[in-house]
Structure 1
Amino acid sequence: MRRRSSGLLAVLTGLALLAGGPAAAQGSGGSADGVGSTGSTGSTEPVDSLPSDFLWGVSSSGFQSEGYSPDSNWTRYIAAGKTKDPVGTSADFRHRYKEDIQYAKDLGAKVYRMGVEWARLEPQQGRYDESAWAFYDDVVASIRAAGMQPMITLDHWVYPGWEFDRGGWNNADMVTDWLANARKVVDRYAKYDPSWITINEPSAYLFQEISHGGLDPVNTQAALDRWVAVHNGIYDYIHQTQPGAQVSSNVAYFQAVEAAIDTTFLDRVAHKLDFIGLDYYYSMSPTDLSYSNVFSEPWKASAAPDGLYYALRHYAKRFPGKPLYIVENGMPTEDGKPRPDGYARADHLRDAAYWLQRAKDDGINVVGYNYWATTDNYEWGSYTPRFGLYTVDVKNDPALERKPTEAVAAYRSLIAQGGVPTDYQPSRPPTACSLVDGLDSCLSPAN
């Protein structure tokens, strides 16, 4: 299969903030029950409710939410002064996971995405921490006890400090070490019938490793080859251990450059993806210059959720019949303040649901949606961008109080009712000449 590495680094620059939440706001709009049917777009097509087996969920990652992080590549980057904020306690999922899992249960969520951090499990080479296993044991069991399916991420950009000392993904031996740890995780948790994410957003992972000094740019292709190897290897092992499992690697959807991204990783593992996992955050259009803020002030960038439709349409065409799952979607605010564009989190969520329903109505096989995130957390170097359904002021509130945004009621109602009402009109009009799927989304828009 043809592979492409030249020019990839330029593409990856656009992926830094599209990951694992790249970047909660109070806002107005909608009805008292959290669903509403008001809007300001004139007229868009009516939609059917999503089916009862649609997988509504929430998404998180270990390093970003747990706090009290052991030695890892990311604690090294922080210690070297390469980030704005230290990670510290984060939202302290490490000690408050039962509370956060209960919040997700109260929403009616069916899926809780979490991470099992290799750096926490194996802080020294060959020596596993039994207290870390006990923590993850209870997290996974608690998710199941709450009536939700765990979606377990094996690698959300973090690996042990001792692996960093050995060269990280510059080192070919990383494949053997990674697979050895991942097999232990699979052996332990397959009995809970989770779904699995192997590598979170490989292209964005690559950018972060290069930009923070963990990966020599000369080894770009080698790192991609190693991720293909670990994905394919653990995919086979999961299916041997847990027949019928659903396994994927979620892609950070970066509009108009999918060809470069897909040929370097996704196309090479497509035969070992049970569903296409997709993360979508920001819109792009020649009529909207706010996209230029993605890399510095993402709360100023357009989060137009009609882009969800185009991203799903893109992959439905690339992989006909393959189930599609939105593994991450959300909207950043600056320290929980209202966004400059006035877009409220609840309105964004309702609009996103509308476009999921439109996609389903148009025959696109979208099977699930995870909101990023349950709580605000560490956004890869900063606590300023906030994505949480529950906002947490990590830097200024020692109690780490979880304060519900207006989106909590909205999401609860969306889940209960299978989306927005048939006659719902999105609060924001469809983007004029969206480039989320290149010229196709501009020339063949969904009105």
Structure 2
Amino acid sequence: MRTSEQTFPADFTFGVATSAYQVEGGIENDWAEWERAGRLKEPHARCGRAVDHWNRYEEDYRLATAVGATAFRISLEWARIEPERGRFDEAALEGYRERLLKMKACGLTPVVTLHHFTHPTWFHRETPWHQAESVEVFRRYSRRCAALLEGLDARVITFNEPMVLLLGGYLQGAIPPGIADGALTMKALENLVRAHVVARRELGERLGRVQTGISQNMLAFAPDRWWNPLDRALVRLGGQAYNHAFHEALSTGKLRVNMPGVATTRVDLPEARDSVEFVGVNYYSRAHLRFVPRPPFIEFKYRDTQGRGLTDIGWEDWPEGFLQTLRDVKRYGKPVWITENGIDDRAGTRRPQYLHTHLGQVLAARAEGVDVQGYLYWSLLDNFEWLEGWGPRFGLYHVDFDTLERKPTPACDYFRQVATGKRLVAPL
């Protein structure tokens, strides 16, 4: 990498990311019900108080500024805001408003996600995503969220990783709502696109022109058997469906998924055309795809092809795929924000090198003309990691889950050097 490519522009944003259910604590929603049903990999794991960010948020804002962050991504918990259908909790809305105002006072720009996987307990029973009524319900929720964001100049993410929600919740049945039906998956996908459009409209009517987008989990894909034409076809079809179908719907107004025998749809949604101000990318790893002769015809595998060692959650450390992913989203002609990128590093020793290699790919993408404007590390804190429970540790800060004490990992110093100096440096 040439010296001229070592520097980030002065207005490049470095920040950190969290989500409500994983850090706040004290939330009763569909995931809490899923836990009580014993549906996690560790059936007795419970999120419970999480890491008590709801009460310790001021401390956590200070931790974010201490590593040079100038943006802080949170999500609003729909179950707090609308615990019963049609009844909004004014205390919860005021609580989020207070927290966002204090975030701004700390010099942190809010990046606010309206939907980060979780739902009120009534949602799947009364207005699930495969029913058209879900769009109106989300519109009404978004309208209340828009009101609490007034005057904050927040960047807004309507949906976090909608394809993960659909793959896990509607195709595999592994997360709420626990459905395994390809046709319903496609109906839910269409309604999620429509819900983004109406949410953006509500935000615009209340806030004027607001920077709005989605966060899409994007994997690099490779054939498990390079010589197998079916594996190679899966890479082509799976990459288009998983990485790009949602982004393309919000760019062109055409929703297209073609996974024969699994899920297929062709729907024109002209109202969705050009309906984002930025493209949000969550990038972690590469998956190898293998065709198997039984539904759903796909096996995902993570392989340590370069001898770097799989991350502690079992994913390949593949920074090269980050550059390719950023090249791929250049087609949408919008600014790009890295809304998540991070590593499960339980010893805390690999994260500085991970940051170095992945931030290097961001600079390489910018050198090729990709308009990457911000990088939000996942996550500020160790937290509850969905089906994995309390095992993974993605945090810049290590959290003692018994005492909830936050302690810096070696990555804090590295992140601070890069974020404040706007220059890629080698980890010590």
Measure the CA separation in 1 of the matches of 2:144 and 2:176: 29
CA contact (8 A) 2:352 2:414 kept: yes
1:261 to 206, 223, 242: 242
Residue matched to 1:389: 396
Is 1:279 paired with 2:282? yes
Question: What is the CA distance between 1:79 and its match in structure 2?
Answer: 1.3
CA contact (8 A) 1:170 1:215 kept: no
CA contact (8 A) 1:322 1:365 kept: yes
Measure the CA separation in 1 of the matches of 2:93 and 2:32: 21
Measure the CA separation in 2 of the matches of 1:92 and 1:101: 13
Q: How does 1:67-82 map to 2 (within 5 A)?
A: 67-70=25-28, 72-82=29-39
Opposite residue 233 of structure 1, the aligned amino acid is V
Measure the CA separation in 1 of the matches of 2:250 and 2:152: 25
Distance 1:153-1:213 versus aligned 2 partners, 3 A rule: closer
CA contact (8 A) 1:350 1:414 kept: no
**Secondary structure in structure 1 of the residue aligned to 2:114:** strand
Deviations 1:314-360 (A, max 9, x none): 111x22x3211110000012xx236xxxx611121122222212221
2:377 to 371, 376, 389: 371
CA RMSD of aligned residues (A): 2.3
CA contact (8 A) 1:93 1:100 kept: yes
Measure the CA separation in 2 of the matches of 1:410 and 1:213: 37
CA contact (8 A) 2:397 2:407 kept: yes
CA contact (8 A) 1:117 1:158 kept: yes
Residue matched to 1:432: none
Residue matched to 1:154: 114
Distance 1:263-1:315 versus aligned 2 partners, 3 A rule: closer
CA contact (8 A) 1:190 1:241 kept: yes
Deviations 1:218-242 (A, max 9, x none): 4111101110111011112222322
1:324 to 314, 326, 336: 336
2:322 to 302, 308, 312: 308
**Secondary structure in structure 1 of the residue aligned to 2:122:** helix
Residue matched to 1:434: none
Larger RCO (CA within 8 A; separation ≥ 6): 1
Opposite residue 392 of structure 2, the aligned amino acid is P
Residue matched to 2:271: none
CA contact (8 A) 2:130 2:191 kept: no
Measure the CA separation in 2 of the matches of 1:328 and 1:240: 28
1:165 to 125, 134, 137: 125
Opposite residue 275 of structure 2, the aligned amino acid is K
Opposite residue 422 of structure 2, the aligned amino acid is G
Structure 1 stretch 321-330 or stretch 165-174: which is displaced more?
A: 165-174
Is 1:355 paired with 2:318? no
Residue matched to 2:19: 61
**Secondary structure in structure 1 of the residue aligned to 2:304:** helix
CA contact (8 A) 2:217 2:243 kept: no
**Secondary structure in structure 2 of the residue aligned to 1:158:** coil
Distance 1:351-1:232 versus aligned 2 partners, 3 A rule: same
Opposite residue 117 of structure 1, the aligned amino acid is E
Measure the CA separation in 2 of the matches of 1:100 and 1:330: 18
CA contact (8 A) 1:290 1:300 kept: no
Question: What is the CA distance between 1:169 and its match in structure 2?
Answer: 1.8
Structure 1 stretch 168-177 or stretch 86-95: which is displaced more?
A: 168-177
Distance 1:310-1:262 versus aligned 2 partners, 3 A rule: closer
Is 1:299 paired with 2:313? yes
Is 1:214 paired with 2:177? yes
CA contact (8 A) 1:353 1:419 kept: no
Deviations 1:257-280 (A, max 9, x none): 331135642211121111110000
Question: What is the CA distance between 1:302 and its match in structure 2?
Answer: 2.2
Q: Paired residues, what number?
A: 365
Distance 1:145-1:213 versus aligned 2 partners, 3 A rule: closer
Opposite residue 171 of structure 1, the aligned amino acid is Q
Measure the CA separation in 2 of the matches of 1:68 and 1:254: 32
Measure the CA separation in 2 of the matches of 1:112 and 1:370: 8
Normalised to the residue count of structure 1, the TM-score between the two structures is 0.77
Measure the CA separation in 2 of the matches of 1:410 and 1:351: 12
Question: What is the CA distance between 1:52 and its match in structure 2?
Answer: 0.8
**Secondary structure in structure 2 of the residue aligned to 1:290:** coil
Opposite residue 272 of structure 1, the aligned amino acid is S
Measure the CA separation in 2 of the matches of 1:255 and 1:283: 4
Opposite residue 394 of structure 2, the aligned amino acid is F
**Secondary structure in structure 2 of the residue aligned to 1:233:** helix
Higher strand proportion, which one?
A: 2
Distance 1:165-1:51 versus aligned 2 partners, 3 A rule: same
CA contact (8 A) 1:68 1:88 kept: yes
Gaps of 5+ in 2: 222-237, 252-273, 290-301
Residue matched to 1:33: none
**Secondary structure in structure 2 of the residue aligned to 1:190:** coil
Structure 1 stretch 54-63 or stretch 209-218: which is displaced more?
A: 209-218
Residue matched to 1:26: none
Opposite residue 222 of structure 1, the aligned amino acid is K
1:420 to 397, 420, 424: 424
Residue matched to 1:89: 49
Structure 1 stretch 344-353 or stretch 324-333: which is displaced more?
A: 344-353
Moved over 3 A (4+): 283-286, 296-300
